[in-house]
Amino acid sequence: MNKPLQPSVAITAPDRPRAWIGSLAAYNGAHDGVPRLIGDWYDATDAADVTVADLHAGTVVPFTDDDELYVLDLDGEWPVHREMDPTEAQRWGEIYEEVGPNTWPALCAWVRSGAYIAEGDTDFPILSDFEERYAGEWSTFREYAEQLADDIGLLTDVPESLQRYFDWESWTRDLRFDYSVEDAPDGGVFIFRDL
């Protein structure tokens, strides 16, 4: 009986944040003056649990327990694009778990917009504020504006013969001042209320 084919690498969700955690001592050539890349990819939710011994397992490069670990590369979608310590990477992974893979791209867009509310002096967003402000993913802002007009009954008391004279372009343009609009990966837009 034939065994089913198995992938040679772990298959993960394309947007799931992963971090390449490396040894700074090895990278800086601290032991023999020769810089080396010693590290591996980890799920962001596990980043703070990685130890120096985990990274150096199977290498002949000497290390000490005071070797500093650092996230030197990112994979998947992240709201920030920079090096960071593993504890920060793990917090981003926890936020990913809290919002889920379907909402994660919108949260990343909200943070990148700069119009988000952060926890204290960190870059981490306040999730309750995100939930309050997120108006969804739409093909265009105009589509959102027309649905909002319908939901609030904007033209309910206007005779149908006069509704065609309503200036949708001006109304939509003015409405947009109350929102942050960010491009979505599939060609639409994410819309956030600026409260």
Domain ranges of the chain: 1-100, 102-195
pLDDT 10s digits, 109-145: 999 999 999 999 999 999 999 999 999 999 999 999 9
Question: CA 117 to CA 33: how far, in whole Å?
Answer: 44
Short-list 100, 109, 96, CA closest to 138: 109
Question: CA 95 to CA 88: how far, in whole Å?
Answer: 11
Q: List, in order, residues 6 or more apart from 152 with CB less than 8 Å away.
A: none
Q: Are the C-beta atoms of residues 40 and 52 closer than 8 Å to each other?
A: no
Q: What average pLDDT does the chain have? A: 88
Task: Return the structure tokens found at 181.
Answer: 């609009």
> Of 11-15, 26-30, 104-108, 140-144, which range is least confident?
11-15
pLDDT of residue 65: 65
What is this structure's pTM? Answer: 0.82
pLDDT 10s digits, 68-118: 899 999 999 999 999 999 999 999 999 999 999 999 999 999 999 999 999
pLDDT 10s digits, 168-178: 999 999 999 99
pLDDT of residue 15: 75
Q: Which SS3 state, helix, strand or coil, does residue 176 take? A: helix
pLDDT of residue 8: 47
pLDDT of residue 186: 85
Task: Return the structure tokens found at 110.
Answer: 């909200």
Q: List, in order, residues 6 or more apart from 66 with CB less than 8 Å away.
A: none
